[in-house]
Structure 1
Amino acid sequence: MASGTRRKTGFSSSAALLFQGGIGVLGLLAILLFGIPVHLASVGVWSSLIYGLFGAAATYGLLLLLTRVPGLFPENLERQMQGLYNFASSYSPAVLVLLSVLAGVGEELLFRGAVQGWLMTQTGPLTALLAASVLFGLVHYVSFTYFLVATGLGLILGAAYLLSESLLLVMVWHAIYDMIALFCLLRFPRWFGVRPVDQDNSPLQE
């Protein structure tokens, strides 16, 4: 995904992977401890994989189009995208792929499996969907616009889980979405108003 020189970040590869993996462990423990009902792949494994792949591509394409609509969001995402670019470009492609997979599995275990699943046993599907999605957005909060984007993605994933009854489907959806987003950000940074920098944090020339 990324090419050229790498810059150091506050997290080593091991720490980043351990943190992301820990989210999945937390979600799995919550599911087991509270006996939360989870639908693993009601539509079948292959259907979950295929729908997840196409869902991820369609979601990212839609989001990319929406960010191009002037005035749609209360602020632009350039600063957040620059920070994400700096973070992602410090890791190897293999680490980024693994981080994406861990995010897809772990965050869906926690937010869709544990949080949304538990809320569905206490309230109703719509309330559970909205609450889990807002919480998902808050956890990813770096700005109000980024919160809106993350909450919207949470709503899409949560609705997909409700309709498909397949946690595997949304895990694949989430993981592939992250891979596409990171690839596009690193390969085409200027799409997002990001200025690539070299190892000394100096802007690269065209």
Structure 2
Amino acid sequence: MSHPSDEMAQMSTRELLTATCGQAAIFTAAGAVIWYLSGRDILTFVTINPHEVFYGIAIAAGMIATGFLLFKLFPRFSEQLIRDQAHSLAFLKNKLGTGSIIIISLCAGIWEEAFFRGGLLTIAKDYLPLWIAITGTSILFAAIHLAKMKVAFLIGVMGCVFALLYLTLESLLAVMIGHALYDIWALWYVQNEMHRLGVFDDVKTTVDAASELG
């Protein structure tokens, strides 16, 4: 069975963006439906005001600064994290332009927050203890990224952070903006590091060697 990222890696940029936008539309709608079925007013699913936009930008700035600092303080661990994502981010092999990175990141920030925080977390906390709702939805958030253990753990932690920010600020827009802007930086950084380190060359060599042994 092929890994979903293998199929994504074979897509043209247009096909990748089309699939990404389609996925975002479906799961954003699903999050809104869950919100509505929980008995809440659909018009309050996402509210828009300057304060929420400011909070979103502040969240992104804090996360980018933290990520950049961690990458610089722990270079060996950071390199291993980059290499561990070679399979799950195989679509970065054909280097994406800035516009494509922005579109993919915006889609991810919107649908992941709409579905996991606005939808699943919202309804889960109606029926479960808060810590279970946060932990459970964050584990699911990590699982859908199909990443290796270290990366999945960090994604799960980020899911908990987004959940706490969402519950504290009571703003889906703020976490959407923060998530999307952070993803723009993270995807750009990871892509550049993968190509600088020759990660995809290493993967190809490993695959070729395995084929010869087979």
Please give the TM-score of this superposition, normalised by the length of structure 1. 0.75
Question: Corresponding residue for 1:10?
Answer: 10
1:6-155 paired onto structure 2 within 5 Å: 9-11=9-11, 12=15, 13-36=17-40, 40-41=46-47, 45-67=49-71, 68-69=73-74, 76-83=80-87, 86-88=90-92, 89-155=94-160
Query: Residue 197 of structure 2: SS of its match in structure 1?
Result: coil
> 1:159 aligned to 160, 164, 175, which one?
164
The Cα shift of 1:128 comes to 1.6
Q: CA deviation at 1:123?
A: 1.8
2:178 maps to what in 1? Answer: 173
Equivalent position of 1:194 in the other structure: 197
Aligned length: 188
8 Å Cα contact 2:101-2:188 kept in structure 1: no
The residue identity in structure 2 corresponding to 1:115 is: L
CA contact (8 A) 1:24 1:102 kept: no
Q: Percent identity?
A: 23
Give the equivalent residue in structure 2 for 1:4: none
Quote the Cα distance in structure 2 between the aligned partners of 1:39 and 1:85.
31
In 1, Cα distance between equivalents of 2:35 and 2:141: 17
Cα distance between partner residues in 2 of 1:153 and 1:70: 20
Give the whole-Å Cα distance in 1 for the aligned partners of 2:149 and 2:36.
Answer: 34
Amino acid at match of 2:141: F
Give distance in 1, aligned partners of 2:133 and 2:165: 13
* CA RMSD across the alignment: 3.2
Q: Which moved more, 1:162-171 or 1:23-32?
A: 23-32
Structure 1: runs of 5+ lacking an equivalent: 1-7
Higher helix share: 2
Note closer, same or farther for the CA distance 1:148–1:197 as it changes in structure 2 (3 Å cut): closer
Q: For the Cα contact (< 8 Å) 2:116–2:141, is it kept in 1?
A: yes
